[in-house]
Amino acid sequence: MQIVQRTRVFDGHYKVSQLIVQDGDEQLRRERFEPGHAVAALVFDTKKQQYLLARQYRIGPEKEILELCAGMIDGDEAPETAIRREIHEELGYDVDQLEHIVTMWPSPGTSAESIAVFYAEVSHQSGRGGGLAEENEKIETVGFSLEQLVAEKLQDAKTVIAVQWAQLRK
């Protein structure tokens, strides 16, 4: 398959392109959601011995969900820089250790988004967290032991993957 034409059909907060894909003698028309590239982290507070997750309202499910600290990469920013910024904005912590778990495509059939998922250890809260007012974020930090976290009915795929990684690691 080869993309032979690309047209931006929506250019708002997110972007959508229409692609013409050549597949042998056939041309297929496909839409591709282009939200950008994201980062996320399973954060572990080494002093409290707790995993820290974010609870916030999400437009996709139209409700509050529990998930990893996460956000978008700004421009040419390195994923490691972006996740350190997001952890400070959302949870108020400085990162002591950072380990890359996986970079994944959450929905490769329709979306150009990739998410770099990390494990982060923290021990010092230097900010209040809660997200940025100018981004209308209202984030609650929730702490869990590994046993409590495994027992949670998680609905977010990147969070499920990171929690399973933590289970296998212990």
Catalytic residues: 135
What distances in angstroms separate CA 148 from CA 51, 64, 121, 127, 155, one per listed residue?
Answer: 10, 19, 18, 26, 15
Place of tokens 């820290």: 52
Residue 11 is which amino acid? D
What distances in angstroms separate CA 61 from CA 51, 58, 152, 155, 156, one per listed residue?
Answer: 23, 6, 17, 10, 10
82-86: long-range contacts at Cβ-Cβ below 8 A with a sequence spacing of 24 or more? Answer: 82/39, 83/39, 83/40, 83/41, 83/116, 83/118, 83/120, 86/39, 86/41
